[in-house]
Structure 1
């Protein structure tokens, strides 16, 4: 990835230890998440020449265990006729020992208006999973269908019963978001099947559906996507753009998806543009961009911006997607620092110098009295991240010191609260009750913060603290 014009990293104060990022420069959406030739591969939208969004390349990393990642050369560089202004998001699939990438070519018109563009779909391929050749007959889909606007991107490809399918995020000519599907027998010639689902309202389900992913999980079909333009509704849909899912049933013969309502997947400030893959053992693994367009990114001053979340396993239970850290992340545990069962009277410091840690907390709940538990990540008496739980409402409220807006989430009534928290240099990911509720957040401090637990009434808890490896990503 060496390039004389590549921006240099000038400070490592916020650099993450076990999250995929770029050596330097900007990244956003994960792309092409797959398992090929003994490795998990993840690509990502990348601008290597600055810490700002720019003409999108595909950065690339691979891992044998979803934990330890190595940087690989940039896989796709824009500038050819089919992708002159950017290689936008897409996916990967293996066929006959060849890894195929599908991506959107982005093109601006000559009027200087960044909202005036057109998009097509392209393919590249590799036999070694490292060096990619763009298909000589690109584009494979030259233009959007006639009932679509110019928003036409982010292909996700899968195979079923010998036929390949491609779902794309799009906007119908009526101005509302939708997902459209194409089919192919050879990955080269694609036939338009039509829209499989569309927003039921501009403000309720969005004007554009980005980064669609489609898969079957526990007997149901899941459409995972990032709608743009949903208005906040009470304590829901509070980010600029959302990421969530529809659960339903897909009829391949009629290309129709009968589905329920939209649910957010992660309730934090910094979670967008998910992509999943099927692990060799059958697990459905998801990863996302661990930032948001409206989020502050102080690391830009240091020559980089953006990272990906830890990989998470998806499970479907009670018509709800549960999201838990993949089991492989247990190998990140370098040392057990604490393991105790104790009674908290008011406040307990769980981690003194949090830098690269995993924290497990189990707290029995007594429904006969009101209880409030507060987990705080703080420095010098200033709360960076404050998460408050009330057993009266089963609600969590998250507050960040650098944002004015709160985030909310609820869980089902329960007799025990279980939390699993991953802390990296500038990120915290909180998994509640086996992933029933998840918050993903970035934070910024040059100190080593503390993690404390506060209670409103005397509370017995069990907790374990691990020190994690902080050099799990290698840059060549």
Structure 2
């Protein structure tokens, strides 16, 4: 759990209040301007990284944990420290009330933590000393009360994972950054990913530009997993195929074993990172391979982004903690955020003049992940079943919009001719699901597809070329203006890694199709787009407006393009 940019409001000066946003609302730790209608959102204050998604067999539900700060979004690393919040769900649609599962401060001032950061929850199979068999144990990073250094601690739960109130090792670290064989830079020691392998506990730890790998027989005493080596995994392995320059730090390592369609199994290493020289901002990556006997990951594929968007980070996963046991599918959720702007001060008005919001922290839709024969992961979103859907067909000659008189209109010209409107409906609800089926009645779909989603004066624009699968996403959010560092957050949101307001370039892998289905989920704080091959793009948004304008455009060089639009309110 690294903060790419941590900005403090040292000046303590709030900007003026714009019309429609009261000081009490904008400054409240429980205000509702930035709360998702059908996405998990922190009950108060600030939240970020997910910790674990654990199946509770006795209760028949999943336990979820995520980082939380009672100091709020203006100072998420303030004096109260970060704790773990906890909720449960049976369907990833409805979530139970949140509670404090792991306190921000440990019991011993000389050896314990003063902020609980990212980690793992794992069930004791009988090896962890001093813990009842079957009880849940949290391994987590944090800051030392003594000197602020990063170390790894552990605590166990006596109430099936609702709280972790029993520190192990007398509240002292089980892994200390200062040990000679631990962190190479003697600073970064965080985000432990813990699992079972060959009857041992294995821990992957984020250590700057590398991953440290450690083993333990009793869960308390840890040593290098592979004797006689550094027992580290470098970017040449976990970022294989990408330019690793300026990519540090790596974060949030998690490993799972997944089954291929042919019955074979592979290990998948997930982690948080960035590849700026590949035009990629922070995100969640994965690489497929296998573990050697010592538990050291051996890559077999290049690294890929799990979600191609700018705002799917601090992700975590369900699945078996014993990596000798394979899962046919697992469930993932990610934090909808990017440290380059979300921690820089977010307003609640598009002019960027209201006081900074105090309540921020939403999560993506849950996604089922399956490993395909080509060693890529397919995602299937889990979402509320709509009570009612409406269907509409639109063509260039017969668009669906609220224009009077001549409905057919163009907004300009691109590579393949004029850009024609297909759908243009203002003042729709913010919490929507769109199932868009694009079709060419003569051949493969010809011409680009454009989605423009407006929330007041904020927007996200999607420009997709079905001939080669490439697409561009850019946007603007006035709520990010006048941040703690001036216009830095707003500029990064608009410019992305391409600069000059161009945002982000990706390739969906979906091309040369006569029919293309896109699923689009919009909520107060996010937009999620899913392609038919299971690829996805998630982007945060920050407007407080309760309505949006949804527009669809296309080039139509053959005169045979059309779209079938199914839409429904969610939440």
Whether the TM-score (by the shorter chain) exceeds 0.5 is yes
Aligned to 1:199: 235
Q: For structure 1, which segment, 438-447 or 453-462, has the greater mean C-alpha deviation from structure 2 after superposition?
A: 438-447
Conserved 8 A contact 1:376-1:383: no
Residue of 501, 504, 521 corresponding to 1:407: 504
Q: 1:215 to 1:323 in 2, by over 3 A?
A: same
Q: Following TM superposition, by how much is the alpha carbon of 1:213 offset from its aligned partner in structure 2, in angstroms? A: 0.7
Conserved 8 A contact 1:268-1:440: yes
Separation (CA, whole Å) in 2 of partners of 1:146 and 1:99: 30
For this pair of structures, how many residues does the alignment match? 443
Residue of 436, 439, 458 corresponding to 1:361: 436
Please give the per-residue CA displacement for 1:140-199, whole angstroms capped at 9, x wherever unaligned.
Answer: 52313524222111112222454332221113xxxxx22222233443443320535211
Separation (CA, whole Å) in 2 of partners of 1:26 and 1:266: 23
* The structure with more strand, counted as a fraction of residues: 1
Separation (CA, whole Å) in 2 of partners of 1:450 and 1:426: 15
Q: Which runs of 5+ in 2 are unaligned?
A: 1-26, 125-132, 321-325, 349-354, 398-420, 478-493, 497-502
Conserved 8 A contact 1:363-1:462: yes
Separation (CA, whole Å) in 1 of partners of 2:516 and 2:542: 24
Q: 1:392 to 1:334 in 2, by over 3 A?
A: closer
Separation (CA, whole Å) in 2 of partners of 1:261 and 1:225: 14
Aligned to 1:294: 340
Matched, 1:373 2:449: yes
Matched, 1:246 2:287: yes
Separation (CA, whole Å) in 1 of partners of 2:64 and 2:338: 19
Aligned to 1:113: none
Matched, 1:227 2:279: no
Q: 1:134 to 1:207 in 2, by over 3 A?
A: same
Separation (CA, whole Å) in 1 of partners of 2:142 and 2:454: 44
Aligned to 2:381: 325
Summarize the alignment of residues 154-165 of structure 1 with structure 2, pairs less than 5 Å apart.
154-165=191-202
* Structure 1 residue matching 2:212: 3-state secondary structure: strand
Residue of 338, 357, 362 corresponding to 2:390: 338
* Structure 2 residue matching 1:232: 3-state secondary structure: helix
* Structure 1 residue matching 2:283: 3-state secondary structure: coil
Aligned to 1:3: none
Q: Following TM superposition, by how much is the alpha carbon of 1:398 offset from its aligned partner in structure 2, in angstroms? A: 0.7
Q: 1:376 to 1:178 in 2, by over 3 A?
A: same
Conserved 8 A contact 2:429-2:547: yes
Please give the per-residue CA displacement for 1:427-447, whole angstroms capped at 9, x wherever unaligned.
Answer: 111111242242333241424
Matched, 1:103 2:145: no
Q: For structure 1, which segment, 367-376 or 382-391, has the greater mean C-alpha deviation from structure 2 after superposition?
A: 367-376
Conserved 8 A contact 1:29-1:89: yes
Q: For structure 1, which segment, 454-463 or 155-164, has the greater mean C-alpha deviation from structure 2 after superposition?
A: 155-164
Aligned to 1:473: none
Aligned to 2:76: 53
Separation (CA, whole Å) in 1 of partners of 2:168 and 2:219: 14
Rg: which structure is higher?
2
Aligned to 1:90: 119
Q: Following TM superposition, by how much is the alpha carbon of 1:383 offset from its aligned partner in structure 2, in angstroms? A: 5.9
Separation (CA, whole Å) in 2 of partners of 1:156 and 1:254: 12
Conserved 8 A contact 1:184-1:190: yes
Q: 1:60 to 1:348 in 2, by over 3 A?
A: same
Q: 1:276 to 1:254 in 2, by over 3 A?
A: closer
Summarize the alignment of residues 105-124 of structure 1 with structure 2, pairs less than 5 Å apart.
105-107=142-144, 117-124=149-156
Q: Following TM superposition, by how much is the alpha carbon of 1:464 offset from its aligned partner in structure 2, in angstroms? A: 1.4
* Structure 1 residue matching 2:269: 3-state secondary structure: strand
Conserved 8 A contact 1:243-1:272: yes
Separation (CA, whole Å) in 2 of partners of 1:253 and 1:337: 52
TM-score calculated relative to the size of structure 1: 0.85
Q: Following TM superposition, by how much is the alpha carbon of 1:367 offset from its aligned partner in structure 2, in angstroms? A: 6.1
Aligned to 1:316: 371
Please give the per-residue CA displacement for 1:385-433, whole angstroms capped at 9, x wherever unaligned.
Answer: 1111112332111111232331122133241221111111221111112
Separation (CA, whole Å) in 2 of partners of 1:452 and 1:325: 23
Summarize the alignment of residues 456-471 of structure 1 with structure 2, pairs less than 5 Å apart.
456-457=555-556, 458=559, 459-469=561-571
Q: Following TM superposition, by how much is the alpha carbon of 1:85 offset from its aligned partner in structure 2, in angstroms? A: 2.5
Aligned to 2:63: 41
Aligned to 2:8: none
Separation (CA, whole Å) in 2 of partners of 1:264 and 1:210: 14
Separation (CA, whole Å) in 2 of partners of 1:118 and 1:91: 16
Aligned to 2:518: 419
Separation (CA, whole Å) in 1 of partners of 2:446 and 2:369: 32
Separation (CA, whole Å) in 2 of partners of 1:344 and 1:352: 22
Q: Which runs of 5+ in 1 are unaligned?
A: 1-6, 111-115, 172-176, 470-476
Residue of 355, 358, 372 corresponding to 1:303: 358
Separation (CA, whole Å) in 2 of partners of 1:452 and 1:349: 4
Separation (CA, whole Å) in 1 of partners of 2:425 and 2:216: 54
Q: Following TM superposition, by how much is the alpha carbon of 1:277 offset from its aligned partner in structure 2, in angstroms? A: 1.0
Please give the per-residue CA displacement for 1:60-91, whole angstroms capped at 9, x wherever unaligned.
Answer: 11112211001232011122234433111011
Please give the per-residue CA displacement for 1:362-391, whole angstroms capped at 9, x wherever unaligned.
Answer: 1125666741111111246x5611111112
Separation (CA, whole Å) in 1 of partners of 2:439 and 2:154: 53
